[in-house]
Amino acid sequence: MRKANHFINVGLIIVVSTFLLRLVFGWMFQLPYGPSGEAALDTTSERLAVYMGFIRPLPASAESVAIDVMFNWHYWMISFLFALIMGLMLYSAVVFRRKEGDDTDAPHIHGNTALEIAWTVIPIVVVLGFGGYGWVELNKLITPKPNEMTIEVTAFQWGWSFNYPEEAGGPSPVRGGVMMLPEDQPVLLEMNATDVLHAFWVPEFRVKQDLVPGRTTFLRFTPTDAGDYVLRCAEICGSGHANMLAPVRVVSQAEFDEWVVEMQNREPYSTMSPEARGERIYLEGFGATGAPTCAGCHSIDGVDGSGPTWLGIYEKEGVFDDGTTYIADDEYIRNSIINPNDQIVEGFNANIMYQEYADAIEAFEAEIEGVEGDFGFDAIADLIAFMQTLEATE
């Protein structure tokens, strides 16, 4: 076979293998998905386009375009390099194998200067090119944008809370466990962790940032597609890591403004019933203290989380890890919140519950009464009142 034919054959193998590998990478890493996990594309041609990198799975932020392009280039480069190396190796092993009965030595080749220079210089140029490209795009991501809206994000084992300091113009602060984002509005997240490392990650937004105890980290993005998404923690942070989720809603500016007005003008704590106050505290937590919400660890549907479910818990008999029993009355519940390691329920672990609730609750009560006046606010009593409404059905 002429030498030129070998080059043609190897070239075809590399080209075909590159496209096949890119198809495999698409199948492995880029299956189309929607905010709820359902397939976003239906036809075979659309799916093939996704797999080949021509369409990406539902980007939902302005930043996702550049990030998708960069990932696509990386996938193509990985496919090409693997096909180049393995294609040459396998072709050589098959075509240039020793023929039966041939005991002669193969030609002795001592090197090729031009080839060695090429396979040294070209990878250096490619790596520097990717590095420069990444630096340019990263600089775009971290550069402040005009009219950014600031949201304070607090992460804790195992939940999230969101505060909107720029929207604090009404009688009630705008904060809670749901992240609301106006469509096409640049957002700046100021993020803190109260305990261990966490990471903010909404896959459709493509951007991700760690939250580090003791320091504030920042993340910028602009949501572009209205819909419901899920915020995930992308840093293994303990036994409840897999369930550290929070809803993220991207809405129109008009809907966002309506939501802000609704949050600002919610009924004051002082005029709410104890049960209603308790439910609100359960869901929203203890103001700006950074203490985790009760809902982050305790469900109200009967399924245990990192802590026991609250469904039917009031006056329920239980067992401690030392085999003794207890009744979940007012005194027990209050002590469990203030001194969480005093008595550990069977099947659960010590040092899981936030240890500073006593100080956080005291500060929260002072914050609320400083705005609404002294009305004998007892947040734990309100939580207990809410628990009493959660009666298990047979």
DSSP bridge pairs for 161: 154
Claim to verify: residue 286 and residue 383 sit in the same structural domain = yes
Claim to verify: residue 247 and residue 308 sit in the same structural domain = no
Q: In this structure, what DSSP letter does residue 353 have?
A: S
Predicted local confidence at residue 366, as pLDDT: 85
Q: How far, in Å, CA of 256 to CA of 254, rounded?
A: 5
Claim to verify: residue 204 and residue 245 sit in the same structural domain = yes
Predicted local confidence at residue 45, as pLDDT: 52
Claim to verify: residue 208 and residue 313 sit in the same structural domain = no
CATH assignment at residue 350: 1.10.760.10
Domain C-terminal end among 205, 231, 264: 264
Predicted local confidence at residue 104, as pLDDT: 83
77 backbone φψ class: left, alpha, beta (φ>0; ψ -120 to 50): alpha
Whole-prediction pTM value?
0.66
The residue range of the domain holding 158 is 149-264
For residue 153, being part of any structural domain is answered with yes
Claim to verify: residue 137 and residue 8 sit in the same structural domain = yes
Other beta carbons within 10 Å of 381: 16
Tell me which H or E stretch contains 219.
Answer: strand 217-221
Q: Which residues of the chain have pLDDT under 50?
A: 31-41, 50-56, 394
Q: Which residues of 238-257 are buried (b: 16+ CB within 10 A; e: fewer)?
A: bebbeebebebbbbeeeebe
Predicted local confidence at residue 140, as pLDDT: 87
Q: Which is it for the CA torsion 160, 68, 183, 34, positive or negative?
A: negative
Predicted local confidence at residue 57, as pLDDT: 52
Q: Which two tokens stand for residue 321?
A: 């890890």
Predicted local confidence at residue 277, as pLDDT: 92
Instruction: Count how many domains the chain has.
Output: 3
Predicted local confidence at residue 125, as pLDDT: 94
Claim to verify: residue 85 and residue 172 sit in the same structural domain = no
Q: How far, in Å, CA of 309 to CA of 300, rounded?
A: 6
Domain C-terminal end among 225, 248, 264: 264
Claim to verify: residue 72 and residue 189 sit in the same structural domain = no
